[in-house]
Amino acid sequence: MPAPPGITLKGQHRIRNAVLFDADLHLPAGRWTCLLGRSGVGKSTLLRLILGLETGGAFSGRFTATDGAGLAGRISYMAQSDLLLPWLSVRENICIGARLRGQRPDMTVVDDLLHRVHLSEHADKNPNALSGGMRQRAALARTLFEDRPVVFLDEPFSALDAGTRSTMQALAAEVLTGRTVLLVTHDPAEAARLGHQIIVMSAQDMQIWPAPGTPAPRALNDRQAMACQTRLLAHLHATAAAS
């Protein structure tokens, strides 16, 4: 796979003449950037802007890849909703991208991912037979199967219990090593564990938060990660209380 690019976005997004956010964001190449902020501040909108999807507003500015090439076809995206097709099996959903592109999917890779997200026994079921957490794991497997140099993850572990969440975080960190990843999360612990760069987003600015100095992904009992989580939570709490 070619080296992944970094991504820079700078500009302002408005909805009905009201400013949703001012953005000045740089995603370092081959690193995880974790984006936190209050609900409604525009985190998911920012992802959709870069993806070229409808946002319900107008953006004045620009975003570019550091290698100068376009981003079309180079980004894998996991939305908040699992977006599984109900008439396909879990296995078929995971490789749907390849089939839509007229490619023959590598079913060995599909079955390995099914095993690693603990869905092997459910591979031939339709999504409506799964719990919310199982559907989210299937969507994660689909995103990882795409094998793209840039990956956008919008609350990818939110429906999972604590134990499963930590296992899926470790899996994503392993499979996406060396990719340019933007992770939207409300969980300070998740950001402190996974982020090479942590950004706290508000309508006014994007604050770069000091990430732990230990290598990511960090152990669950990493002291620097736990201290970072505590400071982040205190900051978010104070921001919410002041609004």
Residue in 241, 240, 213 with CA at minimum distance from that of residue 228: 213
The structure's pTM equals 0.95
Residues 201/21, Cβ–Cβ less than 8 Å = yes
Q: Which amino acid is at 69?
A: A
Peptide bond preceding 4 in cis form (omega within 30 of 0)? no
Mean pLDDT of 145-170: 97
> Helices 132-145 and 107-116 sit at what angle, rounded to 10 degrees?
140
Q: Give the chain's domains with CATH numbers.
A: 7-242 (3.40.50.300)
Using pLDDT thresholds of 50, 70 and 90, give the confidence band for residue 66: very high
More confident residue, 54 or 148: 148
Residue in 106, 122, 104, 102 with CA at minimum distance from that of residue 114: 122
Euclidean distance between CA atoms 33 and 180, whole angstroms = 8
Q: What is the pLDDT of residues 89-137, one digit of tens each?
A: 999 999 999 999 999 999 999 999 999 999 999 999 999 999 999 999 9
Q: What is the pLDDT of residues 178-223, one digit of tens each?
A: 999 999 999 999 999 999 999 999 877 899 999 999 999 999 999 9
More confident residue, 13 or 152: 152
